[in-house]
Structure 1
Amino acid sequence: MTAHTATTLRSAGSTGISLPEAIRRADLGDAVALLASAKKYTVARLSGGRLSVPGKGSFADGAGVAGTSTERALPLSTSGPDAVFEARIFNKDAELRWLHEGDGLGTAVVLSESPDICRPLGEFLDPLYAVEQIDNRYLLWGRPLRSHDSGASTGPLSTGPLSTGPLWVRLAEARIGLLDVPVSRAPRENECVFLRTVEYVTTEPEHGNAYVAEERLVELFLAPPEQSKAAGSPQPDRLPEATR
């Protein structure tokens, strides 16, 4: 973990808003979306205001890396087991959170250190004055599968020329099966996918005790697991709820 100086975390919220409308108004640009429904947990890519996931042929013949040309649009159901009840959509600048309350409408909040990013969503909420920021990372379950040019259809990736993104990488793990996630480049050998977050530390006014008051999701990125362990980041059995 890495600590940084004091900052202010801004936020703005809106009630009685649908998820598509919250996405449109927040206008985050390119981002990663974690979407929870009663039926499944989906990792999607947001670009141009549209949510996308890999198409049926994206990982043909066991390929572990796919481009965005084979994506399909992800429809957002408003009812039934496919309806999203919680969403967290994020990039390096901001995180949009949405929680369903009923009839396809819910509460949306956007968090950012920039008030200009928060303003379009709705009314400003009380700012969080953080005395310290802590960079944190969580290891996602699963190892990236090989790409077509690595000589096999399963197992860790080999070294070689890297494809740049945005790309989809397929992770495999016996406990969870397959998980497709969007990243900025193809994995190198022995790399894993991590979720980067920022923790905001504040103090309570009566006794001055410091505590983590908020954690903002930032990005998915690739790195060797040894580097993360050396930096003191959590291990796989301590994944945040959003990645389980």
Structure 2
Amino acid sequence: MAEKIIAVSAGREITETEFNEFLSKLPEQQQAYVATEEGRKQALTQYANYFLFEKLGYDKKYDQDEAFIATMEAVKRELLGQYALTQEIKDIQATQEECEAYYNEHKAMFVKEAKATAKHILTETEEESKKVLEEIESGAKTFEDAAKEYSKCPSKAQGGSLGTFGRGQMVKEFDEAVFTAEVGKIIGPVKTDFGYHLICVDELTGGEQSEFAEVYPQIMQQLTTEAQNKKYMEVRQAMIEKYGLEFK
């Protein structure tokens, strides 16, 4: 089936396939616009203009200007260098066996981040904290109501809720108490530099080992990148030994 011709610029036929390829290489922020009818028409005009001005360049022999030739040489040097490197590393990819071995040797790296969802009540003294705890345990007040009434932390407006946070985000004493707590059980008073806390952990997640299948893509990318970088350095060193490199 013959290619659909959508424009002819300076005698150059522009096919729908090549134009779509041109569109696909535009920056991501332009993709939504060129997907519209108006945007597509404007992009086609831009693409057609390349051939008009290319023709102008040949007509006026701008392609023979020294400045143009120097620019083309610089562009060629950069593109050829990039292409050569790409060719050298294109077939380098970590194997599944290598990834599995890395996973088994570095399992500690693939433990899911521990997170907690908790609420607290902050008081200035231990006595105040114990008194609030008694009220909650007696059923006189819920934890949330007690937080709104007694807590010195801005979280009191949310019933003491601190939302969800990861291990190490809170001060040491608070962090250790939360991540060793029994879910749903009030603990404290816990002393920190801020005062005394009553803490209730609503949920604890993470801390377990990730399965190999979960982290395989991550390991594959890491090992492949490392192998490609190693190849790059080997090729570079070989070229230096063959042709030399000296900084003045």
Q: TM-score, normalised by structure 1?
A: 0.17
Higher share of residues assigned helix? 2
Kindly name which structure, 1 or 2, has the bigger radius of gyration based on alpha carbons: 2
